[in-house]
């Protein structure tokens, strides 16, 4: 256990001309941090942790290393302190998509006009003409969510498209505006262009839940419960402090898609314990 670790999450949808070279650079230049990084032709996404100095050095490498050709200049990082070491190793993967959606032609294309700052999102939550969608898995919603949010009831991001197809006609007929959020923003970024192409008004929380909690000291006014994180800390409260929630309290072993997640979480926990 330690209180000197810093966690940093980041992503950007941006065309990378040589993703394999990016992977090699990350494997060579990421000394001092552990975590998981995904590289694809459509961009880069990752979560890492280490000492504050190691995380700072890693972030500066992303911002300035020539291999990125300036594509990551101005990249935003969402940070939180760690008690439990979040990761046991560093993994850098080359994949077809940053987040698997499984719909042909769907790739993130940031549109700042649709992004709401945390302060703007707070104003949005007071409106009654908005469909507020939690764009995460159902077990994440159960642990915590924004007041008034709808749980699509999906166990995987790939299932989100079918649910949207069922709901969109009603929203369009009613002239409703759809507002979406997810943990860090990447799922909303991925699906946003796909929704807008179908004529569905869309707003999204810039930087996701983590940015909201990081930006507003009284975020618990709108945020109910805890925020699940995909690492050994399991969950954070509205002040981005690690909670005592365990994987056994998050996952329902009676549901197949959650049973395997629980077993994976137990394996990850054992691997960290072996390092300590």
Dump pLDDT digits (tens) for 13-62. Answer: 999 989 999 999 999 999 999 999 999 999 999 999 999 999 999 999 99
Q: Please list, in sequence order, all residues whose beta carbon lies within 8 angstroms of the beta carbon of residue 95, skipping any fewer than 6 positions away.
A: 38, 39, 40
Q: What is the pLDDT averaged over residues 156-178?
A: 84
pLDDT in tens, 50-100: 999 999 999 999 999 998 989 999 999 999 999 999 999 999 999 999 987
pLDDT in tens, 225-257: 999 999 999 999 999 999 999 999 999 999 988
- Residue 176 binned pLDDT confidence (cut-offs 50, 70, 90): confident
**pLDDT score for 1:** 40
Query: What SS3 string covers the chain?
Result: CCCCEEEEEEEEECCCCCHHHHHHHHHHHCCCCEEEEEEECCEEEEEEEECHHHHHHHHHHHHHCHHHCCCCCCCCCEEEEECCCCCCCEEEEECCCCCCCCCCCCCCCCCHHHEECHHHHHHHCCCCCEEEEECCCHHHHHHEEECCCECCCCCCHHHHHHHHHHHHHHHHHHCCEEEEECCCCHHHHHHHHHHHHCCCCEEEECCHHHHHHHHCCCHHHCEEECEECCCCCCEECCCCCECCCCHHHHCCCCCHHHHHHHHHHHHHHHHHHHHC
Q: Which of 82, 182, 188, 227 is catalytic?
A: 182
- Domains in the chain (CATH in brackets) are 5-94 (3.30.70.100), 112-245 (3.40.250.10)
pTM over 0.95: no
The β-bridge partners of 80 are: 7
Q: What is the pLDDT averaged over residues 185-204?
A: 83
**pLDDT score for 185:** 93
Q: Does residue 182 have an active-site annotation? A: yes
Q: Which of 213, 143, 209, 221 is nearest to 181 (CA)?
A: 209
Q: What percent of the chain has pLDDT over 70?
A: 91
- Is the pLDDT reported for residue 112 higher than 90? no
Cβ pair 236, 227 in contact under 8 A: yes
The CA dihedral of 21, 6, 237, 141, to the nearest 10 degrees, is 10
């Amino acid at each position: 256990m330690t209180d000197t670790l810093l966690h940093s999450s980041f992503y950007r949808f941006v065309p990378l001309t040589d993703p394999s070279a990016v992977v090699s650079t990350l494997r060579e230049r990421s000394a001092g941090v552990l975590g998981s990084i995904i590289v694809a032709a459509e961009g880069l996404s990752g979560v890492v942790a280490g000492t504050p100095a190691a995380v700072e050095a890693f972030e500066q490498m992303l911002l300035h290393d020539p291999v990125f050709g300036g594509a990551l200049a101005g990249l935003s990082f969402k940070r939180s302190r760690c008690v439990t070491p979040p990761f046991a190793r560093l993994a850098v993967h080359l994949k077809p998509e940053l987040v698997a959606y499984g719909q042909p032609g769907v790739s993130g294309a940031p549109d700042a006009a649709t992004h709401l700052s945390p302060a703007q999102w707070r104003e949005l939550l007071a409106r009654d003409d908005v469909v507020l969608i939690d764009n995460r898995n159902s077990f994440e919603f159960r642990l915590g969510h924004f007041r008034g949010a709808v749980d699509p009831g999906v166990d995987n991001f790939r299932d989100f498209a079918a649910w949207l197809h069922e709901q969109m006609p009603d929203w369009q007929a009613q002239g409703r505006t759809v507002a979406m959020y997810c943990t860090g923003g990447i799922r909303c970024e991925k699906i946003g262009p796909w929704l807008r192409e179908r004529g569905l008004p869309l707003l999204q929380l810039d930087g996701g839940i983590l940015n909201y909690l990081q930006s507003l000291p009284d975020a618990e006014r709108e945020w109910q419960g805890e925020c699940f994180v995909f690492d050994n800390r399991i969950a954070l409260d509205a002040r981005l402090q690690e909670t005592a929630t365990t994987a056994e309290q998050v996952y329902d072993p009676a549901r197949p898609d959650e049973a395997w997640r629980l077993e994976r979480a137990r394996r990850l926990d054992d691997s960290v314990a072996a390092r300590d």
